Chains A and B, each alone.
Chain A
């Protein structure tokens, strides 16, 4: 059985002190810290194994390409995709949404069609669709959530009908931590002759994901939220859909043959990977996935459940606090407000206590509007956090209450 004290030693950042206190890093939904082995793997790659991928005939380039392609296969297993050709390396979840919006949806858009999203989407899974709807004179429709943050599936059934170009939903809300039943949405989408895009950025850090069991058509993740480096992410797309799609960006590495008269494009996934990819970071992402799988989902889930329950208990004991979102399948994050105190003021009080949380609209302004607040404070836990840190959070929120009461 792994002990949290030992796991914490894997993360150099967790030893940092902030404002004279040990750093309590509770902003894991924004980005996670990196285990030393991820950093060391990239360092080793840069020092001893570095050469551009895909083009060299020399051994070093061949090996770098192999290392990169091995991570593609690793990502295929991680998401249980049918083929590694369904794994496209992108800059992050945001680029994945934009890629599908422009290479899949834009080519099929017709005036009068609609795109359906949910009321709790991150701006990344909202604005690209909204911009496309404006451009193509389509309608953006929104599946509402109830006070617990659960999707109104009756409304979903009404909204997802023939004429819907695409349905886009977050797997786990970055504000409420609520897990949406994306398989039910996939079935509604398919019955209407549509497809489902799932933003999995907040789901993959907490649970094993099986894109085939979810029956979704597209799924995306960001490396930096699963203990990997920044600047890289994964788009999963069903192969037949990817095959039917136009390139996203044009340039080197994505072509089959080029002449001044005509260029033909490579097959997926290379078709969508123009230019030199962040291959050192891709190698780092592979190491992060190996690390996560070494910890095991059972251990991760049990740790995060314990932290969530502990923090929830501590926070709800504070008078005037309101925690948003409810339900059995919540990720280990807690968004709250405290009376009339503004979240930014609470964030500053917590910062002073060495506690890093997110305060603001969390790139989800419509979600804030749904719950009638301009902003929230969000504490998001990783398996490497401790119950002592959850206690420090509750104590610091209590001192904020005394200041602003």
Chain B
């Protein structure tokens, strides 16, 4: 956890956290639904704050591994966590499992690492609109809000992978 200097002069204004894009995704979350016939699902819960989501993934076989045909999430939580879920599902829908994993890693790097990972410019391009979550890093106690659904996705991807490799639904 970063040390918080309460008097930090370079503190970002609140608008950097609650950008209009995030507020919009909070008000009208995309893919905010359970997926029927999902290949994998996972529950994400933060017992400290009560944020609680389910992630549903439906994969189909494709060249070079499975592809996420549909993804959805349900649950409740703050504006940051809900917008994160909304933008995450929009981003990884249609991607292959390995592409989704790359995006997931890049996002977690973006909001949790102090220095940008190597090849940061590539990361920025990969994340696109998700780069606005950079503002969350200035609020260390809110970082877990942004990452909650991504951690759940991580596990859902693992489950989807194992169900695919073990044959899965044909």
- The interface of chain A, by Cβ under 8 A from chain B, is 17-20, 341-345, 348-349, 352, 360-361, 365, 368, 374-375, 403-404
**Contact with B18, one of A18, A345, A374, A375 (Cβ below 8 angstroms):** A345
Q: Is B139 an interface residue (CB 8 A)?
A: yes
Q: Would you give the shortest CB distance from A22 to chain B, in whole angstroms?
A: 12
Contact A20 B7 (CB under 8 A): yes
Note all chain B residues with C-beta closer than 8 A to A360: 48-50
**Contact with A348, one of B7, B17, B48, B77 (Cβ below 8 angstroms):** B17
Known: A344-B78, A349-B14. A375 touches B23 (CB 8 A): no
Contact A342 B77 (CB under 8 A): yes
Note all chain A residues with C-beta closer than 8 A to B14: 348-349, 352, 403
Number of A-B contacts (CB under 8 A): 51
Contact B79 A345 (CB under 8 A): yes
Q: Would you give the shortest CB distance from A320 to chain B, in whole angstroms?
A: 14
Q: Would you give the shortest CB distance from B140 to chain A, in whole angstroms?
A: 11
- The answer for the CA separation of A9 and B8 in the assembled complex, in Å, is 25
Contact B6 A342 (CB under 8 A): no
Of residues 69 to 95 in B, which have CB atoms within 8 Å of A's CB atoms? Answer: 76-80, 82
Contact B48 A345 (CB under 8 A): no
**Contact with B49, one of A17, A18, A344, A352 (Cβ below 8 angstroms):** A344
- Complex A-B: 30 CB contacts under 8 Å: A17-B7, A18-B6, A19-B7, A19-B11, A20-B11, A342-B77, A342-B79, A343-B78, A344-B49, A344-B78, A344-B142, A344-B145, A345-B18, A345-B79, A348-B17, A348-B139, A348-B142, A360-B50, A361-B50, A365-B50, A368-B50, A374-B50, A374-B52, A374-B77, A375-B50, A403-B14, A403-B18, A403-B23, A404-B23, A404-B26
Contact B6 A19 (CB under 8 A): yes
- The answer for the CA separation of A276 and B31 in the assembled complex, in Å, is 58
Contact B78 A342 (CB under 8 A): yes
Note all chain B residues with C-beta closer than 8 A to A349: 14, 18
User: Which chain A residue has the least Cβ–Cβ distance from B77?
Assistant: A342
Known: A360-B50, A404-B79. A17 touches B18 (CB 8 A): no
Of residues 33 to 62 in B, which have CB atoms within 8 Å of A's CB atoms? Answer: 48-52
Q: Would you give the shortest CB distance from B30 to chain A, in whole angstroms?
A: 17
- The interface of chain B, by Cβ under 8 A from chain A, is 6-7, 11, 14, 17-18, 23, 26, 48-52, 76-80, 82, 139, 142, 145
Q: Would you give the shortest CB distance from B63 to chain A, in whole angstroms?
A: 42
Known: A345-B18, A348-B139, A365-B50. A374 touches B76 (CB 8 A): yes
Note all chain B residues with C-beta closer than 8 A to A18: 6
User: Which chain B residue has the least Cβ–Cβ distance from A17?
Assistant: B7
Q: List 9 other contacts, CB 8 Å, given A17-B7, A348-B14.
A: A343-B78, A344-B78, A344-B142, A344-B145, A345-B18, A345-B79, A348-B17, A348-B142, A404-B79
User: Which chain B residue has the least Cβ–Cβ distance from A341?
Assistant: B79
Q: Would you give the shortest CB distance from B80 to chain A, in whole angstroms?
A: 7
Q: Would you give the shortest CB distance from B82 to chain A, in whole angstroms?
A: 8
Note all chain B residues with C-beta closer than 8 A to A365: 50
Note all chain A residues with C-beta closer than 8 A to B17: 348
Instruction: Choose among A344, A349, A374, A404 the residue with the greatest number of B CB atoms under 10 Å from its CB.
Output: A344
Known: A19-B6, A19-B11, A404-B23. A345 touches B50 (CB 8 A): no
Q: Which 8 A-B pairs have the closest CB atoms?
A: A342-B78, A344-B78, A345-B79, A374-B50, A352-B14, A18-B6, A345-B78, A361-B50
Note all chain A residues with C-beta closer than 8 A to B80: 344-345
Contact A375 B49 (CB under 8 A): yes
- The answer for the CA separation of A374 and B82 in the assembled complex, in Å, is 14
Note all chain B residues with C-beta closer than 8 A to A374: 50, 52, 76-77
Note all chain A residues with C-beta closer than 8 A to B11: 19-20
User: Which chain B residue has the least Cβ–Cβ distance from A340?
Assistant: B27
Note all chain A residues with C-beta closer than 8 A to B23: 403-404
User: Which chain B residue has the least Cβ–Cβ distance from A21?
Assistant: B6
Known: A345-B78, A404-B79. A17 touches B6 (CB 8 A): yes
Note all chain A residues with C-beta closer than 8 A to B78: 342-345
- The answer for the CA separation of A20 and B51 in the assembled complex, in Å, is 29
- The answer for the CA separation of A318 and B13 in the assembled complex, in Å, is 24
- The answer for the CA separation of A18 and B145 in the assembled complex, in Å, is 22
User: Which chain B residue has the least Cβ–Cβ distance from A360?
Assistant: B49
- The answer for the CA separation of A24 and B142 in the assembled complex, in Å, is 21
- The answer for the CA separation of A44 and B95 in the assembled complex, in Å, is 66
Note all chain A residues with C-beta closer than 8 A to B145: 344
Q: Would you give the shortest CB distance from B99 to chain A, in whole angstroms?
A: 31
Note all chain B residues with C-beta closer than 8 A to A368: 50
Q: Would you give the shortest CB distance from B5 to chain A, in whole angstroms?
A: 10
- The answer for the CA separation of A340 and B81 in the assembled complex, in Å, is 14
Note all chain B residues with C-beta closer than 8 A to A375: 49-50
Q: Would you give the shortest CB distance from B3 to chain A, in whole angstroms?
A: 15
Note all chain A residues with C-beta closer than 8 A to B51: 344
Q: Would you give the shortest CB distance from A306 to chain B, in whole angstroms?
A: 29
Q: Would you give the shortest CB distance from A396 to chain B, in whole angstroms?
A: 10
- The answer for the CA separation of A27 and B51 in the assembled complex, in Å, is 22
Q: Would you give the shortest CB distance from A192 to chain B, in whole angstroms?
A: 36
